[in-house]
Amino acid sequence: MALMKIITLFLSLFLLVDEPYLSSGKKTVHEDNLPFTADFGLITIPNDAAFVMGDNRLNSYDSRSVGPVPIAQVIGKAAKKLAEKR
């Protein structure tokens, strides 16, 4: 539960950043019906899954489009941890 609060706070802070360079009429990933900046509501992430986001929101096909990814399918090494699991 504490981890989720930290992640929510981080995402909230990230989403509150003023980004005047974004076109107000263009909010898509690859198609017009896939929002990349809009609030897409509460998402429940299973214990054995991760919510992954790409670093290029205009061209990232990530959890905002396909949902949580099973941990077993995640390949890579974590560079930083936001919080330890309690």
The predicted-structure confidence for 16-54, as pLDDT tens digits, reads as follows 445 566 566 544 444 455 555 555 667 788 989 988 877
Position 72 confidence tier, pLDDT thresholds 50, 70, 90: very high
Is position 42 within any domain?
Answer: yes
Report the number of distinct structural domains present in the chain: 1
Q: What gap in Å lies between CA 79 and CA 61, rounded to an integer? A: 21
Residue 19's pLDDT is: 54
Contact assessment for residue 81 and residue 10, using Cβ atoms and an 8 Å cutoff: no
Domain that holds residue 74: 24-78
Is position 15 within any domain?
Answer: no
Is position 6 within any domain?
Answer: no
User: Shortest CA distance to 64 belongs to which of 42, 44, 35?
Assistant: 35
Is position 18 within any domain?
Answer: no
Q: Tell me what the mean pLDDT of segment 72-77 comes to.
A: 85
